[in-house]
Amino acid sequence: MRRTLSPMRRWLERCGVHPGETVADLGAGTGLLLPWVLARVGDSGTVWMVDIDPRNLMVARLRMGGTARFAERVRWIARSAADLPEIPSRSVDLALSFGLLCCMVQKEKAVDELYRILKPGGRALVNFHCLDLPISERARALRMTRERWQRLRARAPWEPLPGLAHGRWIHTECLRKPAVARGLSPAA
Ligand SMILES: C[S@@+](CC[C@H](N)C(=O)[O-])C[C@H]1O[C@@H](n2cnc3c(N)ncnc32)[C@H](O)[C@@H]1O
């Protein structure tokens, strides 16, 4: 499927990406968003790129060709988003999950990790879609994925951030970890 960046950037703008922030892109793929996110967080920001497939991260590194000055600000993790010991608890301002949760097995663990790594007050941008399916199957698939996501989301006391419109076949949501962290475990 051909990806278009403009809605992704719009969602990111709405969620906010600020100079000096730490962003974690979980299931980062080939790093479509990386140059844009790096430009936003600037020289004092950091981006964690997480993907289970090291070949995707290799392509993402190649995309960095023109942004070498940011290179030391990018940290690469080729492993499952369900287990991220490299990323300290409460260290990330914005976590991205674009198209990750529908395609992975340990969804609960991934959502718990996402919550753990966020700072109190940190945001998560969660997106999934069913655009790869035939039109006749999309409504049912999206409904089922939404229901699953709602159960996953209920694992932690997220605060919803309003203002993101869902597309017909796309679900996009921005959430905030409460500023006074309540949650899953002492680490969260
Ligand atoms: C649909 S792609 C989305 C890629 C990217 N976020 C984007 O929007 O262009 C899903 C990505 O998640 C990665 N992935 C699948 N299971 C994963 C896991 N358990 N942990 C981390 N990444 C995973 C895949 O390798 C793939 O790159």
Interval between CA 180 and ligand 1 midpoint (Å): 30
Q: What is the DSSP letter of 180?
A: S
For 73, the token pair is 């600000």
Fold of 5-77+89-176: Rossmann fold (3.40.50)
pLDDT tens for the chain, residues 1 to 188: 445 667 888 889 888 999 999 999 999 999 999 989 999 999 899 999 999 999 999 999 988 875 666 778 999 999 999 999 999 999 999 999 998 988 888 999 999 999 999 999 999 999 988 888 899 998 898 899 999 999 999 999 999 888 777 778 888 999 999 997 565 554 56
> What's the CA dihedral at 150, 174, 126, 113 to 10 degrees?
-80
Q: Is the CB of 31 under 6 A from ligand 1?
A: no
pLDDT of residue 105: 87
Atom of ligand 1 nearest to the CA of 97: 6
Interval between CA 121 and ligand 1 midpoint (Å): 25
Q: Is the CB of 74 under 6 A from ligand 1?
A: no
Instruction: List the 92-98 sheet strands across, edge first.
Output: 74-77, 46-50, 22-26, 92-98, 118-129, 170-176, 159-161
